[in-house]
Each structure stands twice: as C-alpha cells, then as structure tokens.
Amino acid sequence: MNDATRWNCQSGGWKMVLTVFNTLGRKKEEFIPLHQDVVRMYVCGPTVYDFIHIGNARAFVVADIVRRYLEHKGFKVRFVSNITDVDDKSIRRAKEMGISLQELGELYSDAYLEDTAKLNIGKPDVSPRATQHIEEIINLIQALFDRGYAYEVDGDVYYDVSRFEEYGKLSGNRAEALKLGARIEVNPDKRNPSDFALWKRQRNDEPSWYSPFGRGRPGWHVECSAMATKYLGESFDVHMGGKDLIFPHHENEIAQSEAATGKPFARYWLHNEWLTVNGEKMSKSLGNFITVREALSKHDPQVLRLFLMFAHYRSPVDFNEQSLKQAERNLERLLNTVEKLEESKERQHLTIDDEILLKEAESTKQKFEEAMDDDFNTALALSTILELTRTINIHLDKNAETEAKTKAKALEILRQLLGVFGIKEEKRKPERSEVTEQLLDLMIKIRQQARERRDWKTADTIRDELESIGFIIEDTPEGTRWKMKES
C-alpha cells in the first residue's frame, strides 16, 4: 500500500487520494485544491531569446501530464503559463541580431509554440507575456512600496528581503538563500547584498516603459507574480517549474507576492529534476544543450515525449541513444497493440479468456491511477500500461476473435491511459528499404504459391495483413504487384 491510499471512515474502505511532493515543506501531502473540483495551476514558461532545448521541454511535458491527469480525475484545470519577452538575455540577443525586442519575442514565441505543439503539449488557457502586463507589474511594485518592502536606488527598485521573515522557506535555508542572492544581484548600494531588482532603470537605448519610479523595465521575478495573480488570484493551487527555479526565482516570487497581498501565494510547489547529458545538467550556459528542433529532426515527437516520462519527474533523466531506442520500442508496442485490438474480429459470446482480459484491463487502470496518485509516478504508470499490452497481445494470439464488449472496454481503458500521457494514435507509414522490399517479395511469393494450391484463405489472409500495415497488393495479368499506401 503506497502513500496515495488511506482509509475512508465513511465508506469503511480504502480510498485512493492524490498525494504530491510539495517543495514548500519538502514532504508528500494530500492534494486538496482551494476550490472543489477546480485546480488553478501556473507554470513558468520560456524566456524567448532562443529555441527551447530538451531540458526545457521536460518541464513542459511534466506539467502537461499533471494537467491531463488532474482532468482525468475529474478536475477542471485553469492553466496559465507565461512567456518572458523582456530581460537581459533577450535585450542582448535582439541587439546581436539587429532586430527589435518585439520582433525577437515574436520569432521565438512562435518557435516555442510550434515545438511544444509537435510534442503534443496542450496550450495554456492563458499565455501572458511580460511586455503586455507592465501595468500589473507596476501596481505590484507600488503595493510593495506602500507596505515598506521596496526601496529605490538611483532609479532601480529593489525588494528588501530582510523585511520578509520567511524568506528562504521554499529553498529550505534562509542563510544559504541570502548568500546565493548576494552573488546574483551585485550592487554595493543595496541595503542588503541579497536584495533583488523589481524595476531596472533605463540604460542606454534599452527598451523601457514609464513608471512612477522612472523609465525602465521590470525585473525577472516580479513578472510571474503579477501575471499569476492576475489570472489565478492572490492564492492558487499549483506552481510548477524546473528544479533550478527554486532559488532565486520561486523564492522571490513567494516573498514579493505574499508581502504585497498578505496571503499565501501558491499552495503546492512541484519541481522536476534536470535532464542530463552524460550525467551533467543540460543547459545553454554549459553549451551541452540540444534544441527540441534538433531532436525532432532525428526522432519521432512521441518518442521524445515518452522518453521524457521514463523516470519519475523528481529523478534525473539522461539523454542518450539507448534510452531513446527504448522509448521508440515502447511507443511501437503501445500503438501496435491499439491497432491490433482495434482491427481484431469480434464475437458476441463471452469466454473465460475474454473475462480474464477484461479483469486485467480494469486492474491495470486501478494500478495506473495508484501510481499517478502517488506523486505522478509516470515510470510505474507506464510499466502498468506495457504489462496490459502484453496481456492483450497474448489474448489476441490465442483467440481469433474477442467478445465485442470486452474488446470495446479494453480499447477504452488503453486509450484513456495513453491519453493521460499525451500519446496519440497514429497510422504510421512503413519505411521503404531494401530489407522491406525483400520481405514483401518473399510474402508475395508465398501468397502466389498458396493461390496456385487454391488455398484462397491463406492468400487472402496474407493480402489483408499486408494491407493492414500499409501495403496495397494488386493482382494483375502481368503478376502481383505491391505499393505503399499514400499517407
């Protein structure tokens, strides 16, 4: 029995509940949203100055699966994920490319949306951009001024971390958080070395906006607080992002948001581990990153998606060919099983084998939900689906037909679980190669021999099976020919 199971006093039985590992408190907690049946969820999106890499994509895939599973459990999810289109990196990159900040933002925002769509990551309900929410950002900074948490130094506005007694509660160590902050925001004129920028005065010809504090632009951290609060309220349920965002970004979000409103910001903080390359974190600063676009040029999008959920989201995943090959094999097994079950023949009466298959499908759904209820354990949940495909294939190999309702239920459950993982059914066109052609020629030769023996049943079965996997067989006066179906 895992952490996702507890005794229900009213019904006198065991009840499955969703538990999540909350970085705020560093323990598993029962998930209870602020509003019944509605979950409000925020995910830190990209800073659009370049193409996203596979490490970025892991955070977005994890969030997408969390969202899908919450919906699977019957929750209505309000999902917001921002786009940071103004910061030091984007300003520098726009200058290097000789284009405006807006043009840069549009270019890489579109690229981000294209890449995530190919990975079947669902669109947020709202995807706010920092440059379109300057008014909300200024209002938040003004609230911090009014409450004594913000101060100005030569046009720059800083947050005074010494005023927020709980600073460091997310990262778990106030003293260490202060030391880290001191290294990030270097300015001898700050009251405290770890104070962080809320508003940066205009320098040279940088993009800027008018504010009561002078012309300038927002600091990075304040953007998310302003946009999350606008679209989800002063307190909401889930905040997600990569492990590297715990400090300083998320720590600072909590400090400024709770100081401004006097209310708890997000209740549950979920952070995914890094994606590594040869055991080292993938990042642009280290130069060992692989963009999603590069990966998609070599691998099926669904293979990449399945690879990113191989391990529990709080465990690292190493990007290597062996793991990608395993994901490819698993995807083929999953999709082939759906096709095989879908195309299998039906019968009306129920047999013992049908009953076994139905019980296994129902049991798999329960095991899948037990795994996902235990802090979204995708690795264990995937293993339950793969075990179901094994059971289905054994059943179909033993039985030429399956009882209609059993087949329909098995298909329904398999599709539900694949839907939680965002795996789409697709008829894949077989690749044409020398080996493929040799095998096709051999099958046609065997079929021709069956026709000569007047074994029409075998000949028709071979033709039907070849057509089911994408090959058209044509019998002509000049002999039998084959061709691949058009996609």
Q: Which domains does the chain have, with CATH numbers?
A: 33-308 (3.40.50.620), 320-420 (1.20.120.640), 434-484 (no CATH)
Comparing 4 with 441, the larger pLDDT belongs to 441
Q: How far apart are CA 160 and CA 60, in angstroms?
A: 32
Q: How far apart are CA 132 and CA 478, in angstroms?
A: 68
Q: Taking residues 261-283, what's their average pLDDT?
A: 91
Task: Verify cis geometry, omega within 30 degrees of 0, for the bond prior to 46.
Answer: no
Q: What tokens were used for 92? A: 């520098």
Question: Tokens 């899948």 label which residue?
Answer: 368
Give one word for 484, left, alpha or beta, with left for phi > 0 and alpha for psi -120 to 50. Answer: beta
Q: Which residue type does 262 have?
A: G
Q: Taking residues 293-308, what's their average pLDDT?
A: 95
- Given a cut of 50, whether residue 416 has pLDDT beyond it is yes
Query: How far are the Cα atoms of 38, 139, 158, 197 from residue 220, in angstroms, in the given order?
Result: 29, 15, 12, 8
Q: Which residue type does 92 have?
A: R
Q: What is the pLDDT of residue 486?
A: 59
Q: Taking residues 451-468, what's their average pLDDT?
A: 86
What proportions of the chain, in percent to the nearest 5, are helix, strand and coil? 50, 20, 30
**Range from 103-112, 190-199, 360-369 carrying the lowest mean pLDDT:** 190-199
Q: What is the pLDDT of residue 45?
A: 97
Q: What is the pLDDT of residue 2?
A: 54
Q: What is the pLDDT of residue 434?
A: 64
Q: What is the pLDDT of residue 324?
A: 94
Burial of 170 per CB tally in 10 Å (0-12, 13-18, 19+) = buried
Q: How distant is the alpha carbon of residue 238 from its chain centre?
A: 14
Find, among 161, 120, 72, 168, the residue nearest to 309 by Cα: 120
Q: What is the pLDDT of residue 432?
A: 53
Q: What tokens were used for 192? A: 């405290």
Task: Catalogue the E-assigned strands of 291-412.
Answer: 317-318, 345-347, 401-403
| Cβ pair 160, 150 in contact under 8 A | yes
Q: How distant is the alpha carbon of residue 404 from its chain centre?
A: 35
- Given a cut of 70, whether residue 10 has pLDDT beyond it is no
> Helix or strand or coil: residue 460?
helix
Burial of 420 per CB tally in 10 Å (0-12, 13-18, 19+) = buried
Q: Any residues with CB less than 8 A from the CB of 240 and at least 6 apart, and which?
A: 41, 42, 43, 44, 59, 62, 63, 66, 269, 270, 271, 272
Q: What is the pLDDT of residue 205?
A: 87
Q: Global pTM?
A: 0.85
Q: Taking residues 324-331, what's their average pLDDT?
A: 95
Q: Taking residues 71-79, what's their average pLDDT?
A: 97
Q: What is the pLDDT of residue 179?
A: 67
- Given a cut of 60, whether residue 428 has pLDDT beyond it is no
pLDDT band at 475 (very low <50, low <70, confident <90, very high): confident
pLDDT band at 175 (very low <50, low <70, confident <90, very high): low
> Which value, in Å, is the radius of gyration of the alpha carbons in the chain?
28
Q: What tokens were used for 459? A: 């000949």
Comparing 192 with 38, the larger pLDDT belongs to 38
pLDDT band at 459 (very low <50, low <70, confident <90, very high): confident
